[in-house]
Structures are given as C-alpha cells and as structure tokens.
Amino acid sequence: VTADLPVPPVLPLAWQGDAEDGTLALLDQTLLPGRELVLLRRTTAEVVDDIRRLAVRGAPLLGLAGAYGLVLAAREARDDAQLRAKADSLARARPTAVNLARAVKGALADARVRSAPPPRRGAVLLEIARRLEAEERAACDAIARHGALALGGLRRVLTHCNAGALVTPGLGTALAPLYALHHRGARIHVWVDETRPLLQGLRLTAYELGKAGVPHAVLADGAAAGLMRRGLVDAAIVGADRVCANGDVVNKVGTYGVALACRHHGVPFFVAAPRSTFDAATPTGAEVEIEERVGDGTRYLAPGTAVADSPTTEPAFDVTPAALVSAFVTPLGTFAPTELPPALFA
Ligand code: MRU
C-alpha cells in the first residue's frame, strides 16, 4: 500500500497454509451483500462448483481460483492423468473469461511443474499461484494510476457489472481508478448499473463502493442511456472477460448497450483490463464462446412475475466492437484500440 492508493475494501480470496494441507478461502459472492461467508475449500470439486455457481467470479479472480485450485488437484491426483483431468475440470468450469483456462493451462505447462517430482508439484504450483496473485495485485495498482490520469477531471462515471476489489487481489480493474481518485480527494460519483439478470452491480459493486465510502447510486440498466442524454454521465468504465486480438471486448451482457449509448452521446467509454485478459489467440469477438446461463434469473424477479412457460434467452456476456472503445486502461498505460501494444498480448 502506498500513499496515493487506498487499501482494497475487501479480500475475496486467500490461500492459507502450505501446499500439503493448506486451504483456499473464498468469500461466497452469491450471498453478498446480505451475508459475508468465507468458504474454506480443500478439494478441486468444491472449487469447480464454486466457479460454476458464481461464488467466485470475475475474470482475474477466476484465474486465481484456477491456479490455487490446481494446488488442491495436485494433492488429490494419484497420477498425471488424474491431474490433467482435474485441471481440465477447472479450466472448463466457465468458458468466456480467458483468465481461467489460461491460468490453469499455463501453470500445468510450466517447465518447473513438469520437471518436479510428483510429491513436490503442489509446492511448485502454489508458488506459481502466489506469483500470479502478486502480479494481478500490481496490475490493479498500475491500472488505478493510469486510469486516474485517463479520467482526468471526469467525475460522474458509470460502470457495468462488478470489476472491483471483489474480482482481484487488489483494487480491481474498472473500479481501481475510481478508488484512487476518491482516495486523493476528487469528488467522484459512480453510477452503478444494476446489471440484470444476476445483479452484480446492485449486489456487489454497490457493496464494495459502500465499504470504501465512495459516493454512488444504483440505476436500472435501462436508465443509463437516459442519464447520458440528460448530461449526467461524464465517462463510463468497465472491465473485460477477454480482449480479442483485434480489440473486441467481451464483457458482462449489457456492456455493448452502454458502449453504444456512450458513442451516441459523446461520452468516453473506457475498458480496464490486466494483461491476463488480453487474448492473442482469439482474433475477434465472433470466435468467443458466450456462456448461456439458462434458468439463472432472466425470468424470475420474484414469484409470479413471469409467464411460467415463456422461453428466455440468457447470454451472460456480449461483445463490444473495438471501434466503440475510446481507450483501454492497462498496467502498461492507456491505449486507443488501434494502438494496443503487442506486449499486452504476450
Ligand atoms: O459473470 P461474472 O460475474 O463473472 O462476470 C464478470 C464480468 O463481466 C466482469 O465485468 C469481468 O469479469 C471483468 S472483472 C475485472
């Protein structure tokens, strides 16, 4: 922690102990804001289930859950085939955020893991997970500083979904610059899209901004364009689950609509992301598997609000074309979509 940045308002994940008998502590994000329950996980299957049911969520945190989940997998696996199968179940637990599969596959392919004798593998995997955690924390700090500069005097800032301390080991991605500015005394006001259907804005972004004392107001997703029309939004900033090679952004469903409304109203639209989210292997957004969470909430606001047999379509993410992004805020600096440096994709 340095003087220009605050302490993160919440810690969503922590490994406790050594590789042989440590546990992965996860804040159950399905219960927030009502209940702060920390889950202590000792098996791969538990972590896979936590990822699937969104107890742990958000691109960078999914990567970390995968990396620490592998430590548990190494402890359980009796041979290489079992370790690979368990790694596979972690990597596939959610498809859209590139961070998860990348962290799991990257750790498993690491030369030190491959050359370690099986009893040492867990310890090496734990080292790799801890390093990833430190890198992601440092990325948050860099994004906080670059983003604070990029926002300049823009004070009324809209965000969609939750890309804050709850999805990283630090200050977050999209929210990090806002925490930095607030900490330095700027009169920041955050417009929080509620983020239908699973309400990551209403439940999670409002929770962590509230803990940090950052002034904010939650709005229905459908209200954002109208606020822009009334001149009440100076900028928008969101996170990303994947940034494709051409700069297309995959993020929580509804992000595309925010970007379109921003373009129409001349409001700058920023995307904040660490290097682990930039994916050179996916040329454009059209190639990304968009997770469908059928039955996860579009239909039911409260008992009796939906016609029981009306079909729904429930994409969890959408693609915002690169051309709608004013700038990417990254640990390496702030870049126009046409000027993303290759180092971000390395
Ligand atoms: O389905 P979720 O809650 O995992 O979706 C999260 C998002 O879409 C975030 O905006 C994204 O992961 C970026 S988090 C830095």
The ligand 1 atom at the shortest distance from the C-alpha of residue 240 is 13
Kindly state if the Cβ of 160 falls inside 6 Å of ligand 1: no
Kindly state if the Cβ of 251 falls inside 6 Å of ligand 1: yes
Catalytic positions:
241
Kindly state if the Cβ of 140 falls inside 6 Å of ligand 1: no
Strands 235-238 vs 269-272: parallel, antiparallel or unpaired: parallel
What pLDDT was estimated at residue 47? 98
Kindly state if the Cβ of 200 falls inside 6 Å of ligand 1: yes
With the most atoms of ligand 1 within 8 angstroms of its CB, the residue from 252, 269, 288, 319 to mutate is 252
For the chain (346 residues), the mean pLDDT of every run of 10, in chain order, is 87 97 98 98 98 96 98 96 98 96 97 94 98 98 98 97 98 98 97 97 98 98 98 98 98 98 98 97 97 84 78 94 98 98 96
What pLDDT was estimated at residue 298? 82
Tell how far the Cα of 334 is from the centroid of ligand 1, in angstroms: 20
What pLDDT was estimated at residue 304? 80
Tell how far the Cα of 88 is from the centroid of ligand 1, in angstroms: 21
The ligand 1 atom at the shortest distance from the C-alpha of residue 200 is 3
Question: For atom 5 of ligand 1, which residue has the closest CA?
Answer: 58
Q: Give the sheet arrangement for strand 327-330, strand by strand.
A: 216-219, 189-193, 156-159, 235-238, 269-272, 327-330, 333-335
What pLDDT was estimated at residue 289? 95
Other CB atoms within 10 Å distance of the CB of residue 294: 11
What pLDDT was estimated at residue 2? 58
The ligand 1 atom at the shortest distance from the C-alpha of residue 174 is 15
